[in-house]
Amino acid sequence: MRHISIPLLLLLCISTFAAEPEPYLESASSPFYPPLARQARIEGRVTLHFTVNELGETTDVEATSGHKMLQEAAIANIQGWKFWPPRCACRVKREAVLIYALSRGQASAEIPTVTVKWFLKAPVIRAEIEAAPDLRQWQP
């Protein structure tokens, strides 16, 4: 029994290390809050599904929830994301959530116009984009 379990254990260890690594986010431009959405005081959560292709690029980006104006900005941002490893024989489905919120204060020299917080350790990539409201009067 002991002679069978040692080769089996070795085989499991080798197959585990031979598996291709799960791609992780290597680079991403800072998400932006659409100016018109800020002016209209639109806030919300946008959930996106996308595929990481063999080159580490995002493809098949689809927004499944959120305001249309925020969806367009989120899709445009995610299309520029790059994942590592850059070359693998895999196509991986991923999910991201971008949360757009307006801060309660006004922007000033000491307070930035937009703050972005990244949460990359969870299975779902999450970014929170907080912006000072645009105080110009919005005209529908």
Q: Is residue 11 part of a domain?
A: no
Residue 65 in contact with residue 46, Cβ under 8 Å?
yes
Give the domain CATH number at 101: 3.30.2420.10
Backbone phi, psi, residue 88, to 5° = -145, 160
Q: Is residue 44 part of a domain?
A: yes
Question: Into how many domains does the chain fold?
Answer: 1
Residue range 68-75: mean pLDDT, rounded:
96
Residues of the domain holding 105: 24-131
Beta bridge partners of 117: 128
- Residue 139: is its pLDDT beyond 80? no
Q: Is residue 88 part of a domain?
A: yes
Q: Is residue 5 part of a domain?
A: no
Give this prediction's pTM.
0.74
Q: Is residue 87 part of a domain?
A: yes
- Give DSSP secondary structure letters for 104-131: SSPP-SSS-SEEEEEE-SSSSEEEEEEE
